[in-house]
Amino acid sequence: MAESSESLIVNSLIGEGSEFRGEFKVKDLIRIDGYFKGLIVTDGKVLVGQSGVVDTDIRAGIVVVGGEIRGSIQAKTRVVLLSTGKLYGDIVTPSLIVEDGTIFQGRCTINTPATA
């Protein structure tokens, strides 16, 4: 399933070496390569890069974990745990993809996709 180019536009970026604390609400995609602590809310995508460290709860459409997350994830569409990813927390999502090498400590609930 190909994603539209609009869904790949990075709306916000927390770069490597940067730190952000608080509540972050974003429309499209947020990429985190630095440190984030707080709450992330988006209907779009959250991408945690390999150098990203996130201490937060995430409510999003899609979450891709390549770095480290400590907190819970609620995704409307799917969660992807890459081989470099570390997740210490719970997941609720209709679809979960886990690559070999991922570290995951927590519980996962696979639910049915929300209907409009």
Cβ of 55: how many Cβ atoms within 10 Å?
15
**Dihedral angle at the C-alpha atoms of 3, 85, 91, 115, nearest 10 degrees?**
0
Domain layout of the chain by residue ranges: 5-100
Banded model confidence at residue 2, pLDDT cuts 50, 70, 90? very low
Helix or strand holding residue 62 (H, E):
strand 53-65
In this prediction, residue 9 carries a pLDDT of 66
In this prediction, residue 21 carries a pLDDT of 87
Q: List pLDDT tens digits, range 82-106.
A: 999 999 999 999 999 999 999 999 9
Q: List pLDDT tens digits, range 42-80.
A: 999 999 999 999 999 999 999 999 999 999 999 999 999
The closest of 38, 46, 37 to 12, measured between CA atoms, is: 46
Work out the end-to-end distance of the chain between its first and last CA atoms, rounded to an integer number of angstroms: 21
